[in-house]
């Protein structure tokens, strides 16, 4: 199977417009180049406001999206952006948060965690977990029903969402009802020293995210010997039991496809209700481009439907 011409042209256009990520790249220059790109417009949301949560190294910037300010107890989504733990911020994923808020009716709170290499692992994990706890503790003020609080994220953000659920289980909360993992990083081992998953070689070049870029992100984020720590690679957790139900969304032409699907298998084998969706004609980074690509639209609809169903299930259980 090959990419459709429409998707191939889209990837080529996006790749040509961005500096190459890999050996020798400068994180500051990459961030600046991304900030100069025109913002991607998302749907209107009734209320959008910047907030901050106390974190282990100072305030953690947040962005609060509230689709219905009159709903004092809506479901909630803690969202972690992607970008290889090096790139991304509240602005880069604003359109994705708007899509999630508009399509699920949930309050979305985006987390602007610290980035590498200035702040290496576990800084992002510490911020992600601290933000989730603060959001849960302040759910009433944010218009969120604490029994219907989920985590979600794409790529590096999917990693942080998965790790946050493990830490919440092991460290006494917060209670999370669902995890939506969008082509997550689950296993940092083997980049630059072999490929334990076929998708890393099959899709390692020509599909936006490259194997060279992943190896570079690894070098920026982790120190030697940390690749198999569960906080970095959630696939190496001691246990996958008693975690929230999950959606793991992967893409045909993504080097991270196989590790995401392996994580889904581990969850399911541990008795966690898990749905795996592989998007045909999909690639890493497609989420949020549903206006332009049918595959991206299918991905957005799958995530929104899974979250709506999860929130409805909690409400149904409570009503019985």
Residues identified as active-site: 155, 254, 284
Residues 6+ apart with CB under 8 A from 250: 183, 256, 257, 260, 261, 276, 277, 278, 279, 282
Listing DSSP states for 250-311 in one string gives: EEEE-TTHHHHHHHHHHHHHTT--EEEEEEEEEETT-TT-TTT-HHHHHHHHHHHHHHHHHH
Taking the C-alpha atoms of residue 176 and residue 3, their distance in angstroms, rounded to an integer, is: 36
H, E, C per residue of 147-216: EEEEEEEECHHHHHHHHHHHHHHHCCCCCCCEEEEECCCCCCCCCCCCCCCHHHHHCCCCCCCCHHHHHH
Residue with tokens 């290496």: 120
Cα–Cα distance, 256 to 279 (Å, whole number) = 13
């Amino acid at each position: 199977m090959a990419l459709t011409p429409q998707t191939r042209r889209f990837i080529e256009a996006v790749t040509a417009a961005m500096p190459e990520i890999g050996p020798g790249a400068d994180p500051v220059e990459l961030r600046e180049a991304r900030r100069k790109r025109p913002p991607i417009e998302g749907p209107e949301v009734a209320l959008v406001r910047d907030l901050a949560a106390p974190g282990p190294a100072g305030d953690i910037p947040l962005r609060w999206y509230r689709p219905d300010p009159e709903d004092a107890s809506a479901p909630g989504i803690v969202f972690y952006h992607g970008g290889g733990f090096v790139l991304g911020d509240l602005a880069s994923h604003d359109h994705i948060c708007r899509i999630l808020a508009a399509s699920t009716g949930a309050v979305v709170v985006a987390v602007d965690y610290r980035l590498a290499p200035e702040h290496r692992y576990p800084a992002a994990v510490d911020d992600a977990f601290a933000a989730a706890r603060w959001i849960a503790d302040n759910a009433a003020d944010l218009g969120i029903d604490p029994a219907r609080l989920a985590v979600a994220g794409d790529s590096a953000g999917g990693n942080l969402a998965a790790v946050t659920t493990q830490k919440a289980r092991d460290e006494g909360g917060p209670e999370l009802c669902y995890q939506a993992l969008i082509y997550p990083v689950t296993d940092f081992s083997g980049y630059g020293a072999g490929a334990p998953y076929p998708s890393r070689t099959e899709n390692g070049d020509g599909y936006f995210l490259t194997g060279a870029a992943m190896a570079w992100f690894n070098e920026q984020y982790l120190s030697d010997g940390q690749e198999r720590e569960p906080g970095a690679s959630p696939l190496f957790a001691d246990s996958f039991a008693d975690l929230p139900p999950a959606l793991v969304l992967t893409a045909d032409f993504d080097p991270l496809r196989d590790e995401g699907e392996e994580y889904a298998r581990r969850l399911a084998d541990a008795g966690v209700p898990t749905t795996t969706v592989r998007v045909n004609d999909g690639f890493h980074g497609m989420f949020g481009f549903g206006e332009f690509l049918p595959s991206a639209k299918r991905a957005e609809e799958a995530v929104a439907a899974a979250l709506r169903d999860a929130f409805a299930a909690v409400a149904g259980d409570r009503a019985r």
